[in-house]
Amino acid sequence: MTETPSDHELQHLLQMANQIAANFNFHADCEERIVDHLTRFWAPLMRQRLAEHVAAGGDGLEPVVIEAARRLNPR
């Protein structure tokens, strides 16, 4: 099965989200910093795609990213 452009874009978003988590990992308020970063620097569509991926299970994401994404889009 080949990867579609949207699959590639999603994988890139997941990679970026995990990199953000790695950069903030050493802070006690890591999750809050991720939420702030995603809110300030990611476009609404990017946050929506992340939220959809988390709702589908969040495969490939660090647990702290999953929790931060849930705080962005509370149910």
- Reported as a single tens digit per residue, the pLDDT across 11-32 is 999 999 999 999 999 999 999 9
State which amino acid sits at residue 18. N
What is residue 63's three-state secondary structure? Answer: helix
H-only helix segments in 25-56: 30-41, 44-55
Q: What is the mean pLDDT of residues 36-41?
A: 97
Average predicted confidence (pLDDT) for the chain: 92
For residue 6, the model assigns a pLDDT of 85
- Dihedral over Cα of 33, 57, 44, 13: its sign: positive
